[in-house]
Amino acid sequence: MEEDHGETGLGWEASLPARLQAAGDAARASGFDSTFNEHLLRVLTTPEEQGSPDEPEARGRQRLEAKVDLLLATLSRQEDGEVPLHDLVLHAGGIRLDPGTPAPAGSHWRISLWLTANQPYPLTLILEATGEPDESGRTFFRFEGLSAEESDLLERFIFQQHRRAVAAARRGRDGVD
């Protein structure tokens, strides 16, 4: 019987900017800012206000949002420099990605993960490697120390991304743009 490491349920496959580093006991003890992570996830999962693109207010709001998104993306790049993209699968209980170096089961890591291009600061989480890499070289890392609120918001975010991917695939299949 295969051991469940948190990969059950919905997963979101994406290529995202991320920094991954081994975390010693001191890094694990310092943890991360759960309050900031919760705030960031709450902002990312808040439904966007939908207006008719024909309304002048909606067009103005869209232009303003595009400018703010560009400003945030610019600030993000200046703050952190170039962050490498990682092909990953994000689950509510953990993340599967290639760490670039061996990650023995039980080893602890810290990940800084930018979930959107216009996100100036990353979601920072502590991870524990759970086993051997899969056939594509990606290892599953279980999240450590998530609050119930962080876990719920992360699950909601993954569900929203999955729903968007399904809608985009459906539009592509139906020839609608």
**What is the helix (H) or strand (E) element at residue 94, kind and residue range?**
strand 94-97
Coil, helix or strand at residue 99: coil
Task: Please state, in angstroms and rounded to a whole number, the distance separating the CA atoms of residues 20 and 52.
Answer: 41
Task: Please state, in angstroms and rounded to a whole number, the distance separating the CA atoms of residues 159 and 153.
Answer: 10
Q: Is 153 a domain residue? A: yes
Q: Is 149 a domain residue? A: yes
Average pLDDT along the chain: 81
Please say whether the beta carbons of 146 and 125 come within 8 A.
yes
Lowest mean pLDDT among 12-16, 29-33, 34-38, 133-137: 29-33
Q: What is the mean pLDDT of residues 34-62?
A: 74
Q: Is 127 a domain residue? A: yes
**What is the helix (H) or strand (E) element at residue 124, kind and residue range?**
strand 123-129
Q: What is the mean pLDDT of residues 1-22?
A: 76
One-character DSSP codes across 141-171: EEEES--HHHHHHHHHHHHHHHHHHHHHHHH
Q: Is 6 a domain residue? A: no
Q: Which domain holds residue 98?
A: 11-46+55-174
Show Cβ contacts of residue 83 under 8 Å, excluding neighbours closer than 6 positions. Answer: 17, 18, 19, 112, 114
Q: What's 93's domain CATH number?
A: 2.40.10.220
For 24, what's the count of Cα atoms within 13 Å in the CB-facing half-sphere?
Answer: 1
When pLDDT is cut at 50, 70 and 90, the band that residue 2 belongs to is: very low
For the chain, the domain total comes to 1
Taking only the tens place, the pLDDT of each residue in 71-85 is 666 665 555 567 889
Task: Please state, in angstroms and rounded to a whole number, the distance separating the CA atoms of residues 30 and 75.
Answer: 26
Q: What is the mean pLDDT of residues 90-102?
A: 92
Q: What is the mean pLDDT of residues 106-133?
A: 89
